[in-house]
Structure 1
Amino acid sequence: MDAFLTSLFALLIAEIGDRPQILCAALAIRYGRVTPIIWGLGLATLLNCLISALGGSVVNQWISEEPLRLFYALSLLFAGFGMVLWRRPVDLLEKWTLGPFWTAFLGLFILQFGDKGQFILAATAARTDAWAFAVAGGWVGVMLACVPALLLQEKLAEMLPIKSIRYIGGGIFLMIGTAMVLSAWGIV
């Protein structure tokens, strides 16, 4: 259950105001239909979570606990820096003519691949034998972050202090990651 909750909350926080959430809102505005976009988001997220967790489970078998803690700490540090320092622009896929499901599925799969959430999920799965719980928690976390963007679109940005959430969430990731690095190195 620890892997489920850790993945859920970490990915939920990491995705607030991030590119997948923005792309979901843009696709909902563009197509005017949210159901196929939700299905595309769900499938793309599930595949990315599976790839991440399977990669993490392989790492789990190769290295011991202290390097795993360092791997997890680094994933949080990189996520935190990504949340507070910069944000790359989102390609809204305006030239794609595949329809709402395929545009959402392929666009979000590519966008999420190698993103901070994928590294956090891989590191979470690496620290446990219950990688399936990490998949489920990560999937739920991303869906909880992105589905409101599909339903509320630009109103979500008016309702939530997204910039503050990103700074606070990034700061939390940086603090936890720093503490874990110091612990893994035996400093604290």
Structure 2
Amino acid sequence: MDAFLTSLFALALAEIGDRPQILCAALVIRYGKATPILWGLGLATALNCFISALGGSVVNQWISEEPLRLFYAISLIFAGAGMLAWRRPVDLLEKWTIGPFWTAFLGIFILQLGDKGQFILAATAARTDMWAFAAIGGWIGVMIACVPALVFQEKLAQMIPITRIRQFGGVIFLIIGGVMALSAWGIL
């Protein structure tokens, strides 16, 4: 249950105001219908979460507990830095003509490859034998962050303080990651 909740909350926070959320809103505005975008988001995220968690489970078998804790700490530090740093504009995939589902599925899947959420999820799964719970929690977390963008589109930015949430989340990830890293090195 720890892996499930950790990945759920971490990914929900990490994805607020991130590129997949922005792309979801833009695609709904472009195509005028949320259902195929929701299916594309759900499938792309499920596949990505499965790959990340499975990769983490492989790492679990190779590495002892202290390096795994450091791996998790580094994933949180990078996530925090990423949330605080400037991010490049999202490619809205306007030249893609493969329909709403495939544009959402492929666009979001590609955006999530190598993203902070993928590393957090892999690190979470690496610290447990229940990697499937980490994958499910991560999937739900991303969906919690992105589904409101499907419903509210650009109004979402007016309804919630996305910049403040990203700043708060970034600081929280940096603090937790820093403490965990110092602990893994035996400093704390």
Task: State the AA in 2 paired with 1:118.
Answer: Q
Q: Deviations over 1:130-183 (max 9, x none)?
A: 000000000000000001001100010000000000000000000000000000
Give the TM-score taking structure 2 as reference length. 0.99
Q: Aligned residue for 1:14?
A: 14
Q: Aligned residue for 2:169?
A: 169
Q: Aligned residue for 1:127?
A: 127
Q: Deviations over 1:105-135 (max 9, x none)?
A: 0000000011000000000000000000000
Task: State the AA in 2 paired with 1:56.
Answer: G
Once residues 88 and 80 of structure 2 are traced to their aligned partners in structure 1, the CA distance between those partners, rounded to angstroms, is 15
Give the secondary structure class of the aligned counterpart of 2:102: helix
Q: Please list, as runs of the form range in 1=range in 2, the aligned pairs for 1:17-96 lying within 5 A after superposition.
A: 17-96=17-96
Q: Aligned residue for 2:104?
A: 104
For structure 1, the 5+ residue unaligned runs are: none
For structure 2, the 5+ residue unaligned runs are: none
Q: Does 1:156 align with 2:156?
A: yes
Once residues 166 and 42 of structure 1 are traced to their aligned partners in structure 2, the CA distance between those partners, rounded to angstroms, is 23
Once residues 107 and 123 of structure 2 are traced to their aligned partners in structure 1, the CA distance between those partners, rounded to angstroms, is 24
Once residues 73 and 62 of structure 1 are traced to their aligned partners in structure 2, the CA distance between those partners, rounded to angstroms, is 18
Once residues 155 and 74 of structure 1 are traced to their aligned partners in structure 2, the CA distance between those partners, rounded to angstroms, is 34
Displacement of 1:87 in angstroms is: 1.1
Task: State the AA in 1 paired with 2:26.
Answer: A
Once residues 131 and 143 of structure 1 are traced to their aligned partners in structure 2, the CA distance between those partners, rounded to angstroms, is 18
Percent of aligned positions with the same letter in both sequences? 81
Displacement of 1:64 in angstroms is: 0.2
Once residues 187 and 112 of structure 2 are traced to their aligned partners in structure 1, the CA distance between those partners, rounded to angstroms, is 34
Task: State the AA in 2 paired with 1:100.
Answer: P
Paired residues, what number? 188
Task: State the AA in 2 paired with 1:155.
Answer: K
Give the secondary structure class of the aligned counterpart of 1:91: coil
Displacement of 1:86 in angstroms is: 1.9
Once residues 111 and 134 of structure 2 are traced to their aligned partners in structure 1, the CA distance between those partners, rounded to angstroms, is 20
Once residues 154 and 145 of structure 1 are traced to their aligned partners in structure 2, the CA distance between those partners, rounded to angstroms, is 14
Q: Please list, as runs of the form range in 1=range in 2, the aligned pairs for 1:177-188 lying within 5 A after superposition.
A: 177-188=177-188
Once residues 26 and 144 of structure 1 are traced to their aligned partners in structure 2, the CA distance between those partners, rounded to angstroms, is 17
Task: State the AA in 2 paired with 1:36.
Answer: P
Give the secondary structure class of the aligned counterpart of 1:83: helix
Give the secondary structure class of the aligned counterpart of 2:98: coil
